[in-house]
Amino acid sequence: MKKISICFLIIFSTFCFANREVERLKEIVSINSGTSNITGVKKVMQKVAPWFEELGFKISYIENPEGKDKSAPLFIAELKGNLPDTITFVMHADTVFELTSPFQNFQISGDVINGPGVMDDKGGIVMTVRALEHLLKDQKTPKYGLRVIISPNEEMGSPGFSSIFKEYSHKTWLVLGLEPAYDDGGILEGRKGNIWYSIEVKGKEAHAGRDHKEGINACHLLSEKISKLQRLTNYKKNVTVSIGRIEGGQDKFNIVCGWAKAKIDVRVPSLNLMKEYKKKFQEILNAPHTSFTIIDDTPPFSTDKASMVLVKKYLSLIKETEGSQHISHFSGGVGDTNMFSREGVLILDGLGPIGGGAHTEKEFLNLSSIESRSIVLMKFLKSL
């Protein structure tokens, strides 16, 4: 009887509110907001601001510290709660589809909506608003403070905002990422972190025949280091080292290579392993003729006892609401939620609606999942 009433609630709610959610999606999906289209990203934020203001949120914007010409500003919506602790929701307004992309149209056929960014991540924005409407329907002041952060350039790694995310991390106890659910309907219990190393070796050019012993072969030195670094890949620990690019020397057979460069991607599943592997890299790279720069340093977030309790609770609420069992995943990809990672903060991601084809012209969203997943999110927030 309980399952029937829950299903009826979802069907009834979907029927009543589907048209409004479709209109909201159409409004923002029809605006091109490719990351480099700063004007378009701003327009999306201007469209969604009143949706949060109607719920009592105060809106503010933070310009990109690297310059206004680098991206649109960061969108912040905040609502005070009865308790000082805050829950932070993380999503983004930009897409991978720039103005030059042929994929610009919003289309709907039954329960399926196609459009640029409809699942990644404009559906997440619309779903969050709907969940907060459910939550605040009977109480204007929530138990915990609520903070919504919408990035303007997540598809590029949110450059310029990492320090701001870290600052907000210390002002929250729980971070909820509204990236879309997995294609199978599951959520994310963790994401790997990554470190990008740019390595440079300076050797000494010489005639490869007459003066070979006078030269210092940078390509050879670099290849020795790359061989050691590659051996650090450990699938049992879920750690990977990827050699993304190597280059060096003049385009000649008969000159000892005088310089060499490499780009290395390292992926690790935990903060402890990140510290461990940074140390191992340093031991290999701290050598004569060699220098390196860390281009990107994004921490992982992973599960512990406290976060697994929340993951299991969330999955049980999905089953209760939708009537189907789903699992949690650990992603090798990095998202904005990674930048909130630190000791003591709890993070869940992939809480957005269900769809598929992200980053392709086949991107789609299941409209009914906006309502069902918004109910799950509302129930989860009420249970805290």
For 89, 125, 226, 353, 366, the CA distances from 132, given in Å and listed in that order, are: 11, 11, 50, 15, 20
Say whether both 288 and 337 belong to one domain.
no
When divided into structural domains, the chain yields a total of 2
What is the arithmetic mean of pLDDT over 277-288?
Answer: 96
281/232 Cα distance (integer angstroms) = 9
Say whether both 48 and 185 belong to one domain.
yes
Last residue of a domain, one of 269, 298, 327: 298
Say whether both 201 and 184 belong to one domain.
no
For position 14, what pLDDT does the model report? 47
54: left (phi over 0), alpha (psi -120 to 50) or beta: alpha
Say whether both 197 and 181 belong to one domain.
no
pLDDT(79) > 80: yes
Q: Which tokens sit at 360? A: 């392709």
pLDDT(334) > 80: yes
For position 19, what pLDDT does the model report? 85
For 26, 95, 358, 361, the CA distances from 101, given in Å and listed in that order, are: 18, 11, 14, 9
Say whether both 6 and 71 belong to one domain.
yes
Say whether both 85 and 178 belong to one domain.
yes
Tens-digit pLDDT profile for residues 13-33 = 444 557 889 999 999 999 999
Say whether both 111 and 29 belong to one domain.
yes
State the DSSP string of 258-306: -EEEEEEEEEESSHHHHHHHHHHHHHHH-STTEEEEEEEEE--B---HH
pLDDT(10) > 80: no
Q: Domain range spanning residue 30?
A: 2-192+300-383
Per the CB < 8 A criterion, the answer to whether 84 and 51 are in contact is no
pLDDT(215) > 50: yes
Tens-digit pLDDT profile for residues 83-112 = 999 999 999 999 999 999 999 999 999 999
Say whether both 245 and 102 belong to one domain.
no
Say whether both 163 and 215 belong to one domain.
no
Last residue of a domain, one of 249, 276, 298: 298
Say whether both 54 and 160 belong to one domain.
yes
Q: Which residue type does 381 have?
A: L
This prediction has a pTM of 0.89
- Residue 303 pLDDT class (50, 70, 90 cuts): confident
Q: How do strand 145-151 and strand 86-92 relate by DSSP bridges?
A: parallel
Say whether both 175 and 245 belong to one domain.
no
pLDDT(9) > 70: no
CATH of residue 281: 3.30.70.360
Tens-digit pLDDT profile for residues 185-195 = 999 999 999 99
For position 198, what pLDDT does the model report? 98
For position 18, what pLDDT does the model report? 72
pLDDT(5) > 60: no
Q: What percent of the chain has pLDDT over 90?
A: 93
What is the arithmetic mean of pLDDT over 294-298?
Answer: 94
**What does pLDDT average to over the chain?**
94
Last residue of a domain, one of 298, 325, 352: 298
Say whether both 121 and 54 belong to one domain.
yes
CATH of residue 376: 3.40.630.10
